[in-house]
Amino acid sequence: MQEAGRLFVGPPPTLSNQPPPDELEQMLAVARKFDVAGRDERNRALGKAGEERAIEHERATLRDAGRDDLARKVRWVSEEDGDGAGYDIESFTPEGHARLIEVKTTNGWERTPFHITRNELAVADARRSE
């Protein structure tokens, strides 16, 4: 029979739930350099620019299809009504069918993960057949 491998037993957790002092110092150094508000502001600006680009694309596509009437009806829902509808843009196919578009914008590569809310999923599921 082979002897079982040894278990690693680390220090017990502290009552304050703080990491060990050497890790705490590293974490504090990173936190001092990280501007959460600045990142949030940049992400919001990037998201808004992506939505703006998508809405212009939708309007141009409809105009190119000879549907100026529908291009004028395209709505930037998240800008006009707020961000709780579960989609950002209300558009149309050239045939006049409604299209709900949720825009996700990144300055990363095409496989960058993104967050999708429960509400966005629920709206997509409920409107799947439209």
What pTM was estimated for this model as a whole?
0.71
- The string of pLDDT tens digits covering residues 47-103 is 999 999 999 999 999 999 999 999 999 999 999 999 899 999 999 999 999 999 999
Nearest one of 103, 104, 74, 102 to 90, comparing CA atoms: 74
Phi first, then psi, for residue 110 (nearest 5°) are: -65, -15
State the Cα–Cα distance between residues 72 and 10, nearest whole angstrom: 65
Residue-by-residue DSSP string for 54-117: HHHHHHHHHHHTT-HHHHTT-EEHHHHT-TTSS-SEEEE-TTS-EEEE-----SS-TT------
pLDDT computed for residue 125 by the predictor = 93
State the Cα–Cα distance between residues 105 and 36, nearest whole angstrom: 19
Tell me how far the alpha carbon of residue 112 is from its chain's centroid: 10
- The string of pLDDT tens digits covering residues 100-122 is 999 999 888 777 888 899 999 99
